[in-house]
Chains A and B, each alone.
Chain A
Amino acid sequence: MNEPTAENYEPENSGHSQRVDWTGLVNRIQAGDPEGMEELYRVFSRGVRFYLCRQLGPQELDDKVHDTFVIVVQAIQRGELREAERLMGFVRTVVRRQVAAFIDQAVQARRERQDVESGAHVPDRRENPEQYAIERQRAELMRQALEGISRRDREILTRFYLLEQPQEQICAEMRLSETQFRLLKSRAKARFGQLGKKRLSRSSLMSFFLRTNTVLEH
């Protein structure tokens, strides 16, 4: 498999098909060139935002992304990046440290305001009713997909996804080959996808008919 690396990365929306010149980019940032910093932001902002959101949630995301970029730029300007070609790895290291730091801050803040005996409510994450409804809908669709497969297949998926048993253990105990195991997962995914499409097309048709009726009445 051709694993992507810094050398063969081609940015999707750079406006040109040339590879990123990491050395040139680092040199421009070290020289304080604003265009260099803009390019750094253009190359990495989506990925940094994605990573931080996935690890920490959507709260105060803009600030966290901004803080991360400030740290990266300052570190580059201080000469902490020894090899320009390792810029992706360097950014990843900074982002992971930021995640650890934000978690530490959150835990500390929670400890300071928490008082279990007096009953202070400390939610785990913020509530998002819309997202909750979407999650429940997906889970319901998945439940339908799973109830349509055999108990044994369900047990295999339970061991892998819920009990987090390694594939090798499951295959050994359930007497499956690696291929059979992968096939089962693919079938479950395909079944879920089919049910989802069916439901989507039903709800699209329903919306279409409702709109059409409304137009006809007027």
Chain B
Amino acid sequence: MLRDCKCSVSEETVERYCLGRLESEELERFEEHLLVCPGCQDRVAASDEYIAAMKLALRDIRARQAKPAGPRWNPLRWTPLLAAGVAAAALAVFVHFRSPAGDPAPHMVSLRAIRGFEDPAAAAPAGALLVLKADLSELPEMPSYRIAIADQGGAILWQASGTPEQGQLTVTLPRKLAPGRYWVRLLGGGNLLREFGLKVE
């Protein structure tokens, strides 16, 4: 239950703060206020939860809609998605993806980071070719990143470099993974930036 907040900070300000979009002076004022206002602390916590749920849900929906649209698809309207699709296809060529005749369509796996907690393991079906989409939010911007797949024991099975697109890094695994638990490591500048769990079942 949110505490009754007697101040007049708008919902807009709270949301912009949670999204990291307050300008420096406004940020300074709001954070000073936040130190001493339990009501606004509750509002920020609630807004954080809402935004996290929104992002997760939108990613899920996007991942499910990742297949190319039919005849009614308007390329002008969907230009950003078209560009992302072309980039993903180019990346697949870059990592020498080969799909033997008769394979099922690749399975999209979204790898996300959730504020405050370890990224929950993403699930993927065994026997499918996997397209991994790693979330780069809140990471330092780099021209390219490296993705490495390690088995449960930590041995590296495969790795490749890729360029980010709209806050995500998309790579296609050139081979199928057997059932089990894997670690997907995101590296940049030689440093481990983020690690995601991946369950293949």
Interface residues of A (CB under 8 A from B): 1-6, 9-12, 43-44, 46-48, 50-51, 53-54, 57-58, 88-89, 91-92, 95-96, 107, 110-111, 114, 116-128, 131-132, 135-136, 138-143, 145-147, 154, 157-158, 161-164, 166, 182, 188-189, 192
A95 to B36 alpha-carbon distance, docked (Å): 13
List the B residue with the shortest CB-CB distance to A120. Answer: B154
Partner pick for A119 among B9, B28, B155, CB 8 A cutoff: B155
Residues of B within 8 A of A118 (CB): 154
B59 A162 Cβ-Cβ under 8 A = yes
A150 to B194 alpha-carbon distance, docked (Å): 34
Q: A1-B10, A110-B192 are in contact. Are A146 and B116 (CB under 8 A)?
A: no
B62 A158 Cβ-Cβ under 8 A = yes
Interchain nearest-CB distance for B107 vs A (Å): 18
Q: Is residue B90 contacting chain A, with contact meaning CB distance below 8 A?
A: no
A2 B8 Cβ-Cβ under 8 A = yes
B153 A51 Cβ-Cβ under 8 A = no
Residues of B within 8 A of A116 (CB): 148, 156, 185, 187, 192
A142 B154 Cβ-Cβ under 8 A = no
List the B residue with the shortest CB-CB distance to A131. Answer: B117
A126 to B120 alpha-carbon distance, docked (Å): 10
Residues of A within 8 A of B195 (CB): 121-124
Contact bitstring B43-62, A, C-beta under 8 A = 1, else 0? 01100111111111111111
Residues of B within 8 A of A166 (CB): 21
List the A residue with the shortest CB-CB distance to B51. Answer: A161
Interface residues of B (CB under 8 A from A): 3, 6-10, 12, 19, 21, 28-29, 31-39, 41, 44-45, 48-62, 80, 113-120, 137, 148, 150-151, 153-156, 166-167, 183, 185, 187, 191-192, 194-195
Residues of A within 8 A of B44 (CB): 50, 54
Partner pick for B38 among A46, A119, A124, CB 8 A cutoff: A46
Interchain nearest-CB distance for A72 vs B (Å): 11
B35 A51 Cβ-Cβ under 8 A = yes
A128 to B116 alpha-carbon distance, docked (Å): 10
A to B CB contacts below 8 Å, 18 in the list: A4-B29, A4-B37, A6-B32, A12-B3, A12-B38, A50-B34, A57-B116, A58-B116, A96-B31, A114-B192, A116-B156, A125-B117, A135-B56, A138-B53, A139-B52, A142-B53, A143-B60, A157-B58
